[in-house]
Amino acid sequence: MTPSPPPSKTGTQSAPTPGAADLNVSVDQDYSAGIIVITQYYTFLGNGLHEKAFELLSAAAQKPHSLEEYLETKRLFFKTVEIISVVPYPVHVAEQGGMIPTDTEHRKRFTVRIKAWGEGPMSGSRMSGDPQLLFLALVDEGGSWKIDSFGTAPFTDCPHLPPDTIYVIDNHIYGNSDAGSELGVWQAIDVMQAALVQHHPEWSLYTYQNSSQEERNISYSIWNRSNSQTIVVNPRVLMVTAGITLDWKIPTDKDLRLAISEVGVAMTQHFRDYQFDESLQEQYPQVWNPSSYALYAYFNYDLEQLKGWADEYDMMFGAMQPRYYNVNCQPK
């Protein structure tokens, strides 16, 4: 497949609040400031000003990667960017006919549409030139709005669920132990490896020899370990969970494959505990399903860590396999 050629320069056709008045959606000056920041960010990326783009990220968004790692990946995947639109998330939801969500004073959300071209045929996990739908959250840091998270799945506003409900992933997605097999096994493994190359290159360089003395990468190992007697979990979910657990470093006290297996065993045990133990379900009534409990318990019942996991998954795999089976938050 040959991607379409990039435009001659970064284009901006953003509509700050399209139809907000007609939709009866209230948007304040902070949304306008946020639109400016997002527009600047993608304009910087599309014009080779990657260091300036990095400065527009929040402290939390900068933390997982050094400036050098950020520059390496962004220079590879963002040579040219066309901004199609930047819209406050409440406006986007209203346009879809949904219940309009309310953002907090210090955190604002946006729906962003862009096209991007990388050095090769890919821009991130997408083909160069393909339209991308992104969901960004900005936070107020010392009076300046900074980009705090990027996602490819809608924010989880489920109006029919209580606001304290813990619901981060569908069982159907969590237990999809052969995720991507419709592409072919090797292609599914390649998708995982490409995500590592883009976001966590240290892991992408890890190799080992299998029993046939063939060299394999860590994605191959995760794929094969994700559906075993003691582990049943989506290999993409396992990769993200293990990566966060190990801070995306290669452990020095044990083999990386063993460390990942230990994570998978613990996750599967938490899932089974909640699925079959009614007393545990009664103890945590706010948890929506066994898959959400497995991650919640694995991260020591820490909601901030759970949110960090969701953001990481969305960044790496959300475009190809969102955490929710459908956007109406109906459990599957």
Summarised one tens digit per residue, pLDDT across range 32-54 is: 999 999 999 999 999 999 999 99
Q: Which of 78-82, 179-183, 225-229 has the lowest mean pLDDT?
A: 179-183
| CA 132 – CA 138 distance, rounded (Å) | 19
Of residues 159 and 130, more confidently modeled: 130
Give phi and psi for 82, each to the nearest 5: -115, 120
Q: Which of 180-184, 214-218, 250-254, 294-298 has the lowest mean pLDDT?
A: 180-184
Give the whole-number percent of the chain exceeding pLDDT 90.
Answer: 20
Q: How confident is the model at residue 281, as a pLDDT?
A: 86
Q: Which of 6-15, 299-308, 319-328 has the lowest mean pLDDT?
A: 6-15
- Domains belonging to the chain, first-starting first, are 11-151 (3.10.450.100), 171-317 (no CATH)
Summarised one tens digit per residue, pLDDT across range 198-214 is: 888 888 888 888 777 78
| CA 287 – CA 281 distance, rounded (Å) | 8
Mean pLDDT of the chain: 79
| CA 97 – CA 93 distance, rounded (Å) | 6
Neighbours of 14 (CB within 10 A): 19
| CA 179 – CA 237 distance, rounded (Å) | 10
8 A C-beta contact, residue 25 and residue 87: no
* Model confidence at 317: pLDDT above 70: yes
Q: How confident is the model at residue 307, as a pLDDT?
A: 83
| Band of pLDDT at residue 256, cut at 50, 70 and 90 | confident
Q: Which of 9-13, 44-48, 59-63 has the lowest mean pLDDT?
A: 9-13
Distances (CA, A) of 92 to 14, 19, 20: 13, 10, 9
- pTM of full prediction above 0.85: no
